[in-house]
């Protein structure tokens, strides 16, 4: 089938995301120089696409892969999609963002990247939005893909107005449990619940306002709500509550959770392995595992707070659907400003650091640019797809990671 040439607007956006045939390819991987051990046999990476912009996360819906891209000093934020399966010859096209597009940024340091979630039959987009004067049009923090193929704002019920200025409460995660949406809008210890597809929200924890602390992570395991973060600052926590039939905490009383000493290790994510009682929580400098649905946790990766060459912030977790004991985690190494990637073949008991696999890991002396993994996912073909930004939230790459024992 001959593909039609995209129109000028789509062609301009599509030029931001290039196929890897121009200098891309497949490479083997060894361990980082200070990791020791032997090179994992057969583990390889292929660059599927490159971007001058920073990449958010990849999701899969309606036979396509969708990826979010940051705004920049030359243009607004972008969402691109391509038919599956992902390959180096994939043709990416722009998805209209309508009023949900972020305008171009004033500088590279202020660039913002939307996040995507495919939940049920709906594709959601959320992002931090600047405040606006009450009664005037402005940016939007929560949107959905509508029937026309464009994104439409859904954030009015989250709008918070003070002194004539309004802004939607920003979230950094959105999940669906039992047909209810859960969001950590407003950051801090906040957790909101919606039973009507974001038409209204109830405050499950915290308050309907922005909090100074970072967003807390959350996960529901059966009737147990797990939350974790670092609020007040330098006091990390994982807490549990019993959920009632309405999806809200049945009580403000906490359920017991047995934890190692977390110190000030802010919790980055909490995620359950599907159809199991195994739960993982990423923390600054480590990774926790629970085998009893979040009643107790222990470290499976732990770096000391000081004096260590590496200090990973593990933000993304994947257990393969067909091989749930095969897992991949990603994020960044704060100590060296390098991307971080590790995998496990035994259900998360032991982990192998494969960060040297990633573009952005090897750098010239004196190069202090910050590089990070921005998502880890499994495509409908059962392959591991990783996105990484090579330089301070820009120069994104879409990677195919092949794990072979």
Average pLDDT score over the chain: 89
Contact 308, 302 (CB under 8 A): no
Grade residue 21 by pLDDT with cuts at 50, 70 and 90: very low
Q: Does pLDDT of 108 surpass 90? A: no
Q: Does pLDDT of 56 surpass 70? A: yes
Residue 309 has what pLDDT?
A: 76
Contact 151, 145 (CB under 8 A): yes
Residue 9 has what pLDDT?
A: 40
Mean pLDDT throughout 16-39?
40
Q: Which residues have C-beta within 8 Å of that of residue 41, sequence separation ≥ 6?
A: 404, 405
User: Distance between alpha carbon 401 and the CA centroid of its chain, in Å?
Assistant: 17
Question: Where is average pLDDT lowest: 1-5, 127-131, 235-239?
Answer: 1-5
Q: Does pLDDT of 229 surpass 70? A: yes
Q: Which residues have C-beta within 8 Å of that of residue 92, sequence separation ≥ 6?
A: 14, 17, 49, 80, 81, 82
* Alpha carbon distance 104, 344 (integer Å): 40
Q: Render pLDDT for 116-155 as a digit per residue (tens, 0 to 9).
A: 999 999 999 999 999 999 888 899 999 999 999 999 999 9
* Alpha carbon distance 377, 385 (integer Å): 5
Question: Where is average pLDDT lowest: 71-80, 101-110, 217-226, 304-313?
Answer: 304-313
Residue 36 has what pLDDT?
A: 37
* Alpha carbon distance 402, 323 (integer Å): 14
Hunting for tokens 């001058």 — which residue is that? Answer: 52
Q: Which architecture, in CATH terms, is 27-46+106-402?
A: 7 Propeller (2.130)
Grade residue 354 by pLDDT with cuts at 50, 70 and 90: very high
Omega before residue 110 within 30° of 0, cis: no
Boundaries of every domain in the chain: 27-46+106-402
Pick the residue with more confidence: 249 or 308? Answer: 249
Residue 238 has what pLDDT?
A: 98
* Alpha carbon distance 366, 361 (integer Å): 13
Contact 224, 242 (CB under 8 A): yes
């Amino acid at each position: 089938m001959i593909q039609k040439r995209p129109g000028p607007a789509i062609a301009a956006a599509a030029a931001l995301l290039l196929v890897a045939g121009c200098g891309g390819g497949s490479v083997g991987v060894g361990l980082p120089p200070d990791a020791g051990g032997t090179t994992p046999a057969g583990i390889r990476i292929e660059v599927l696409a490159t971007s001058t912009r920073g990449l958010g996360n990849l999701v899969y819906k309606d036979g396509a892969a969708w990826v979010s891209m940051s705004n920049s000093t030359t243009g607004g934020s972008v969402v691109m999609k391509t038919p599956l399966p992902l390959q180096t010859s994939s043709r990416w096209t722009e998805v209209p963002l309508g009023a949900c597009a972020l305008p171009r940024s004033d500088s590279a340091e202020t660039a913002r990247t939307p996040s995507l979630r495919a939940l049920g039959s709906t594709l959601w987009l959320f992002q931090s939005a600047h405040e606006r004067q009450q009664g005037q049009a402005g940016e939007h923090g929560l949107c959905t893909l509508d029937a026309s193929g464009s994104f439409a704002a859904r954030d009015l019920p989250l709008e918070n107005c003070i002194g004539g200025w309004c802004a939607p409460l920003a979230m950094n995660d959105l999940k669906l449990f039992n047909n209810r949406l859960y969001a950590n809008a407003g950051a801090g210890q906040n957790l909101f619940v919606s039973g009507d597809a974001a038409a209204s929200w109830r405050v499950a924890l915290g308050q309907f306002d922005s909090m100074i602390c970072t967003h807390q992570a959350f996960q529901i395991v059966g009737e147990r709500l797990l939350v974790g973060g670092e609020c007040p600052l330098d006091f990390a926590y994982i807490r549990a509550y019993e959920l009632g039939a309405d999806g809200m905490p049945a009580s403000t009383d906490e359920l017991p959770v047995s934890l190692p000493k977390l110190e000030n290790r802010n919790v980055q994510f909490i995620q359950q392995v599907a159809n199991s009682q195994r739960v993982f929580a990423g923390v600054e400098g480590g990774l926790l595992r629970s085998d009893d649905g979040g009643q107790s946790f222990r470290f499976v990766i732990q770096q000391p707070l000081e004096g260590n060459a590496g200090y990973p912030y593990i933000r993304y977790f994947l257990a393969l659907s067909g091989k749930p004991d095969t897992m991949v985690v990603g994020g960044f190494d704060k100590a060296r400003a390098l991307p971080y990637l590790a995998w496990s073949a035994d259900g998360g008991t032991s982990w192998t650091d494969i960060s040297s696999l990633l573009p952005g890991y090897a750098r010239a002396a004196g190069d202090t640019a910050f590089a990070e993994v921005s998502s880890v996912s499994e495509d409908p073909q059962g392959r591991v797809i990783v996105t990484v930004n090579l330089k301070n939230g820009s120069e994104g790459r879409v990677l195919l990671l092949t794990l072979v024992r």
